[in-house]
Amino acid sequence: MAIQADKVWMDGELVDFEDAKIHVLTHTLHYGLGAFEGIRCYQRADGHSAIFRLGEHIRRLLETCHICTLESPFTREEIERACVETVRANGFKDCYLRPVVYLGHGEMGLSAMGNDVRVAIIAWPWGAYLGDEGLTQGIRAKIASFNRHHVNASMVKGKINGQYVNSILAKREVMKAGYQEAIMLDTNGYISEASGENIFIVRDGVIYSTPLGSSILGGITRDTVLTLARERGYEIIEQRVTRDFLYVADEIFMTGTAAEVTPVRELDDRQIGTGKPGPITRVLQDAYFDQVKGSATDHMDWLTMVE
């Protein structure tokens, strides 16, 4: 379904959706140097809408800019306010937000040191990224032939536009083979992350997660789920694991702003656990959705109210 909205925020003002255009020589379009975020706004049980962990997302957006040597023309506070304005201007109750910082047109060639840095924020309604059935029944995943970036070949802690070509190739590869998501190994052969999600593994009641000191992006949903798991008394081990450790897992689930908390029922044509979402996955999935669109009030600092 084509994305549609009334207004898009561009460089400090709201413009009509049809007028949100850039020049064909926009540098980021050609070379990929830019920063972006994916953020969700949810309508909660009380009817009010709130953007989830907005501050953390915009902090990471600007950290990515810093990694990329891009100087944002807007502050963190200004971009956060602009996100709220964009949701309000479109009248959305539930939506996905995409702030993007990019190099405009001017110089070509790789450095483009004199090009303006521009900022846009787009919002649109977006359901479950891996499908409603994926949330309830789990998905089929496959180890991709494409590895996650090496930590010294690409800046893995930033959400950098051009770096996602690697994930796109992995995703397209496995989807053409009939699977719903790709899981990527690091360059040493250990589990890294999915094409756009972090990975959690459950075995004998213990939750395993690839550590931040590796090739993974530090997911905000990952951090949320780790917090909720610790509060519920689960043992958590952050360490690198091999692909066959996933084959013999009791449960696997993925986390991400778009994917939320999605179980994996099958990996490389091997059933995971019972072939259904496991009990720990269900507990953490329910806890997550209670925070973002339920009535939980124990982490109100995670919410930026829109109305």
pLDDT in tens, 48-58: 999 999 999 99
Kindly give, in sequence order, each residue whose CB lies less than 8 Å from that of residue 19, ignoring residues fewer than 6 positions away.
Answer: none
The per-residue pLDDT for 49 is 98
Which among 7, 142, 159, 293 is annotated as catalytic? 159
Q: Please answer whether residues 36 and 57 qualify as being in contact, where contact means their C-beta atoms are separated by less than 8 angstroms.
A: no
Nearest to 197 by CA among 146, 133, 278, 263: 263
Q: Which two tokens stand for residue 122?
A: 């787009």
Long-range contacts of 24-27 (CB under 8 A, 24+ apart): 24/105, 25/105, 25/106, 25/108, 26/102, 26/103, 26/104, 26/105, 27/102, 27/103, 27/104, 27/105, 27/106, 27/107, 27/108, 27/112, 27/115
**3-class DSSP state of 169:** helix
How far is the C-alpha of 54 from the C-alpha of 82, rounded, in Å?
A: 11
Tens of pLDDT along 227-246? 999 999 999 999 999 999 99
Report whether CATH 3.40.47.10 matches the domain 134-293.
Answer: no
Whether 159 is catalytic: yes
- SS3 of 123-145: EECCCCCCCHHHHHHCEEEEECC
Question: Mean of the pLDDT values across residues 167-177?
Answer: 98
Domain boundaries, the chain: 7-124, 134-293
Element containing residue 244 per DSSP (H, E): helix 243-247
Please give the CATH topology (third level) of the domain spanning 7-124: D-amino Acid Aminotransferase; Chain A, domain 1 (3.30.470)
Question: Mean of the pLDDT values across residues 110-128?
Answer: 96
Angle at 159 between CA 124 and CA 183, to 5 degrees: 90
Angle at 15 between CA 11 and CA 17, to 5 degrees: 120
Q: Is the pLDDT reported for residue 66 higher than 90?
A: yes
Band (pLDDT 50/70/90 cuts) for residue 307 is confident
Give percent of the chain with pLDDT exceeding 70.
100
Question: Mean of the pLDDT values across residues 110-126?
Answer: 96
Tens of pLDDT along 273-283? 999 999 999 99
Tens of pLDDT along 13-47? 999 999 999 999 999 999 999 999 999 999 999 99
Find tokens 């506070």 and name the residue: 77
DSSP single-letter state for residue 196: S
Q: Is the pLDDT reported for residue 1 higher than 70?
A: no
pTM: 0.96
